[in-house]
A and B are shown apart, each in its own frame.
Chain A
């Protein structure tokens, strides 16, 4: 891993309109109009998907600049191949599939030494045993106003192995279904479930101290200091 993920805390500025709620029928109609030649509608089509594509790439690459470039390449590729999009998957799944493939290719180029068969077999066998059994203290959403909390969450996620990070991001951050997650990552439904269980329990262990003041001592994620090893 090169640089750690940086926390970007910018909220949408007031001049940007938030993504409109859009039904699948609306999306299908948009895709058909673009396929028929109204290409300028592509900006509107992708707007609700921009963050998802970027975050999916970030989950794999762990580098903001690379993730942004991969996101741009993903949308370019989606545009040039939209004529061949046949609703074999939801549009969002198809987009994330492209992003995942682009990001993996980029990672192979950046790190040829760590890629290859080894990467596929890092999955640990057996079940994960949770470490932390203190009563969970609820972390309310308001806590995310605090930068150290956001940092802790982002760092905890980036300390997971890639196979866990990508499953967690698609399923729990993007709220893809298990089947969509499997399709987007090109893995089996069973593998999604196994990895998801581990990812969720590892993150909970990492964040278990909650707000009782031990964040900083607990959440020092230097290499070799992973609480579950």
Chain B
């Protein structure tokens, strides 16, 4: 099938998309946007988080066909760099495989709750696994981003 979708503000089109493909595959393998990651492809890790019509979703759980005519924003397309900068300064990036999904999740959290408490941050990021950092510096990064 053919899919037409707005990605990061640009109209994009993909042909010969197989019905079983996910939005994650569409982005990574057909549209050249590998920023969203593929740590589990089972909806368990959050590494593939993108915005779909402004709502954060696990791209691995969305069928490519479902995004026809809709709008997707990936980590590559985020204009503001406040969260990204805070992750760098706080040392919240090690291997970085969790980072794109976390950036979207934190971006979304701060848009909804500009000054979240630690318990709110933990609740909001509970779906994003990180194996390297033990999350301490991710919390630091969120606090830092929220303070700016």
Please indicate whether A and B come from the same complex rather than being unrelated chains. Answer: no
